[in-house]
Structure 1
Amino acid sequence: VGPTGVGKTQLCKALAQQLFDSEDAITRLDMSEFSERHSVSRLVGAPPGYVGYDQGGQLTEAVRRRPYSVILFDEMDKAHPEVFNVLLQVLDDGRLTDGQGRTVNFKNTIVILTSNVGGAAIAAAGSDPFKQEEVRLRVLDELRSRYRPEFLNRLDETVIFNPLGRGQLDHIVRLQIGRLQRRLDARRIKLLVDDAACRVLADLGYNPEFGARPLKRVVQRHLESPIARGLLAADFADGDTLAIRADMDAIRIEIEVVSREADDAAEDRTQAAAAAMAPPA
């Protein structure tokens, strides 16, 4: 539990990568799509005689096809109460029967539920270590007032996410740039990002209320989009090395080509030719 943008969903992706060697080993179910009573049947599939009977359920089919995975129920506070009846069997017995009568085994999955319950109390406390125990008790009280005891009793652990501090965004900027670099590796484009540019990006993306999501948009606006436009306009080419610096006076990011693979190759050929023509010592 915790406020928006603090990394609850990202943790699930990291777990899938660490435990199952792929961020794709995750089934994400947005509980806002299961806020109506009739939508609950989509989890396990329609019963015989109803439309969609042969398609299976979104939850049961995903686990049946990929039994080793992370199952994420996102924003549980938006789910219809009937959803919790389905979850009780999964959390207790590790199995679920779909609409076609097949038993689906959940014993090789990790089930994670996220919620924004208590987000206001967590955000108000910030990262103050002296308020952490008070916040934990308030969040647990809110959970008990919202969810039934038999449901809470089946959860192994409740993890409370604190709001992100300004210093943590410096690390997240580096992670975002690392992902961008991996996408550019196929074109042999290398990014050289100085610390000042990282600080400017973190400053532009820092918003205690919304967490790290604004930072992702800042990286898209100041790095991804300009690089994409440069490639389309042929200002940048495959094999280029791009220096990303900060203009502190204007608080903006500058992207400059500092090395070009084709130029380096031509220079190497020139040097090789000069060496071949040089008289022997």
Structure 2
Amino acid sequence: PQTTPTPFSPPPLSALLPPSHLRTLARRWLHEDCPGPDPAALLVGLTPRRAHIVCKSPGLLAGLPFADAVWAEVSCVSTWKLPEGDHVTPGTVVAEVTGPAARILQGERVVLELLSRCSGTATAAARAVGVGRGLGWKGAVGGTRKTTPGFRLVEKYGLRVGGADPHRYDLGGTVMVKDTHRDAAGIGMGQLVLRARRAGGWSRRVEAECGSAAEALQAALFGADIVLLDNMEPQELHAAAAAVKAQHPTVTVEASGGITEEALPLYVGPNVDAVSMGSLTHSARPIDFALRVVPGDDVGQ
């Protein structure tokens, strides 16, 4: 007998983040900001207090799981007024934090920084995705590994909140053959792709960074799963993408190389499956947040 499929509600993106990794990151960030005694803590003590996190510039709210992990490490609790991914405007109270006064202030800067950077990345990603969709393009907008050391997971997560693809998280995610590998190995693209296939085994895809149509066709011929057309002028890129798709229709074609939000319309097209943009992380404008302690409000009294 036929059965009705059970409706599937996708879990929140925070399910992607292993709690142990969140705790490790939170402790690392807090230790960097306060590796020893905090004399200013004696000014306020451990009296229970309440504070609000307030938005100061417009954008998408992102980074809540990281903020929660930091607050937990300093014995504070955050209550979010808006869900992750919502658009926020200046003056919006996005969260309430309760806990010992000194601990709130010790977590303040770390939380504001990660919310700012994660929200900025999410906002830039959402704008870029919107540009592509507005043109009727069905491909993927992705980030790159051009992330801030120590903040990679935060920025990759922000890309997802904004609707973009985070691309590979680290060097092992995909075997990417770049011009530097070619120059260091001293062999042609075809042989380099074959080596990459052996090195990555059966479970990893191979991506080849190519600077010309001829190089892209050779990479596809020797088994590259993804051909990255790098630093090409739009007209040249679209001609190369069409040539690859004509001979190897199952190969994924990716465009990359200094592509900004303003230039994005020039690079999307029927033969381009993905556009990766380092600017979504390394040039994303942060969204400004502030923490304000509620004066004269002793929690629990």
Structure 1 length normalisation: TM-score?
0.26
State the structure with bigger RCO (CA 8 A, min sep 6), 1 or 2: 2
- Between Structure 1 and Structure 2, the one with more helix by share is 1
- Between Structure 1 and Structure 2, the one with more strand by share is 2
Greater Cα radius of gyration, structure 1 or 2: 1
